[in-house]
Amino acid sequence: MTEEKLVGTAWRLAVVAACAIGVAACAPRKVVYIPQDWSTSPPPRAAAPSAPKPSGPLKEQPAPQPGEPILKGQPSFKESDLPAAPAAPSAPSPQKNAAEQPQYLASMHLVDQAKTALGQGKSDQAISLLEQAIQVDVYNGNAFFLLARAWRAKGARQKSLEFARKAEILFQEDRARLKEVYLFEADVYKDLKDTGKAEAYRQKASKL
């Protein structure tokens, strides 16, 4: 086959192919129906729950200035809402003020009478008056101390020490009177031949 025949044959094949393509393009397209059950499209998404809408418009709060308290509103809880703490019972003071305690004046009046009776050697009468004075004011240290002296005068030294110790407790805030009680107790222990305790009370008196 010559070269001219080969060229002619190739050209005729190209013309035939072009015509075939044109006919296929002009032919009507056939619609293919796909059943709904065969559809591969994803199911519709469920709507997400919407956030509750604010009842009113939101206002932008200004930033607190330096030194300004963060909470500006007054708290609803007040200190007056707290239950009142029970007051602790105050112990009565041994040192009574004569102007504020009339019973102290009445007790001291009996003490003065007992002092006069004791000076006259009437120990029993003095003891009776002093017992009344203590009933009027149980915190009268002068009554207890004079009662200790009265019992010593009667020779009852142990009973004398008993009342002297009560006077010692009541005179804790009165150094001068407490020193007087210590020296009295030292003398009573000396009468009892207890030199150790007698010296101990003298040492306590010397520190005041």
Answer for the pair 191, 157: CB distance below 8 angstroms, yes or no. yes
Between 17 and 189, residue with greater pLDDT: 189
Distance separating alpha carbons of residues 4 and 2, to the nearest angstrom: 5
The residue with tokens 């004075």 is 133
State the chain's mean pLDDT as an integer.
74
Question: Does the pTM of the predicted model rise above 0.85?
Answer: no
Radius of gyration of the chain (CA): 59
Paired tokens of 195: 């030199």
pLDDT band at 101; cut points 50, 70, 90? confident
Residue 149 confidence (pLDDT): 97
CB atoms within 10 A of CB 73: 6
pLDDT of residue 19: 58
Q: In this model, does residue 83 exceed pLDDT 90?
A: no
Domains of the chain, residue spans: 102-206
Written as one letter, the residue type at 178 is: L
Q: What is the pLDDT of residue 57?
A: 52
The pLDDT of residue 47 is above 90: no
Nearest to 189 by CA among 146, 157, 166, 162: 157
Higher pLDDT, 91 or 166: 166
Other Cβ atoms within 10 Å of 149 Cβ, number: 20
Lowest mean pLDDT among 70-79, 127-136, 167-176, 189-198: 70-79
Task: For residue range 120-139, list pLDDT tens digits in order.
Answer: 999 999 999 999 999 999 99
* Lowest mean pLDDT across 101-105, 129-133, 149-153: 101-105
* 108, two tokens: 């001291």
User: What CATH number matches the domain at 102-206, 3.40.630.30, 1.10.10.10, 1.10.1740.10, 1.25.40.10?
Assistant: 1.25.40.10
Cβ-based burial of 180 (10 A; exposed 0-12, middle 13-18, buried ≥19): middle
